[in-house]
């Protein structure tokens, strides 16, 4: 019997690339995103191309209690989740005193609360069955504060800390937790977050999301706790440990500002 992976944020970018990689290895899919038309399109394409079962659930995971809705729907269809990939996330750009709280509240619910709740719900199922794998997509933003995207950086720091902590709790229970920490990647994230003009992005050749997805899938299958794709990203994460905190924050502000 095929394994089944649940992937959030699966209508494009890293999430869709992860789903496709898993499907190419014969893994059945449960794809979750807000865009139902895009989900149906990918359901037809992936199931036909790889001869796997593809279930779709259209849901806005930034809404309160959305994790319970998804979990109940998965169970009502008689599905089990062997691999949970919490990929869905977005960012809000600007000075904290000036940004829109309703957008930020949705972001925090998606990036932190729903991710945590989905992990708790499906982890219990995995433990009852005796095994499973979880990938929580964090970011290199998790390793330092991020002026101009303060809440997004903080949310990813939470994802990293949470993933490492529960991974330790599960070390003898045949369930692994991987925090994938990509740097800026060629997806729709930059446009949605409004950071296309920042030094972090503008004029840079960003890594392809397929490369990041492949690295993440390998790391998850190997049970790696923290996965940082790319030599430059690894170097930058290492440097954060060497420099005084005020210096790191000033550098983060510099690259976040517009060119």
The residues annotated with a catalytic role in the active site are: 152
**Residue keyed to tokens 């790696």:** 224
Residues in Cβ contact with 190 at an 8 Å cutoff, skipping those fewer than 6 apart: 184, 196, 201
Structure tokens at 232: 């430059």
Coil/strand/helix, residue 61: coil
The backbone torsions φ and ψ at residue 149, rounded to the nearest 5 degrees and listed phi first, read -145, 50
Rounded distance, CA 112 to CA 106, Å?
10
Alpha-carbon distance of 62 to 107, in angstroms, equals 6
**Is there a contact between 159 and 137 (Cβ–Cβ < 8 Å)?**
yes
* Pair 227, 137: CB distance under 8 Å: no
Place of tokens 């959305």: 66
> How far is Cα 108 from Cα 168, in angstroms, rounded to an integer?
24
**Distance (Å, whole) CA 59 – CA 74:** 12
Helix (H) / strand (E) element for 122: namely helix 115-129
């Amino acid at each position: 019997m095929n394994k089944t992976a649940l992937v959030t944020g699966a209508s494009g970018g890293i999430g869709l690339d992860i789903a496709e990689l898993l499907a190419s290895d014969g893994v059945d899919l449960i794809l979750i995103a807000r865009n139902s038309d895009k989900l149906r399109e990918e359901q037809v394409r992936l199931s036909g191309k790889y001869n796997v079962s593809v279930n779709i659930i259209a849901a806005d995971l930034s809404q309160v209690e959305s994790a319970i809705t998804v979990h109940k729907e998965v169970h009502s269809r008689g599905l089990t989740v062997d691999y949970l990939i919490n990929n869905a996330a977005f960012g809000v750009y600007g000075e904290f005193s000036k940004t829109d709280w309703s957008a930020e509240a949705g972001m925090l619910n998606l990036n932190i609360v729903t991710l945590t709740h989905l992990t708790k719900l499906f982890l219990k199922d995995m433990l009852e069955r005796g095994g499973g794998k979880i990938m929580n997509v964090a970011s290199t933003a998790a390793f330092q504060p991020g002026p101009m995207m303060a809440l997004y950086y903080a949310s990813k720091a939470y994802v990293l800390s949470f993933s490492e902590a529960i991974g330790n709790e599960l070390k003898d229970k045949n369930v692994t937790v991987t925090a994938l920490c990509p740097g800026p990647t060629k997806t729709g994230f930059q446009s949605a977050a409004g950071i296309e003009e920042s030094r972090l992005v503008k004029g840079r050749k960003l890594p392809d999301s397929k490369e990041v997805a492949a690295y993440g899938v390998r790391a998850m299958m190997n049970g790696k706790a923290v996965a940082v794709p790319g030599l430059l990203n690894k170097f930058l994460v290492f440097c954060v440990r060497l420099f005084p905190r005020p210096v790191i924050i000033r550098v983060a502000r510099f690259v976040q500002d517009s060119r």
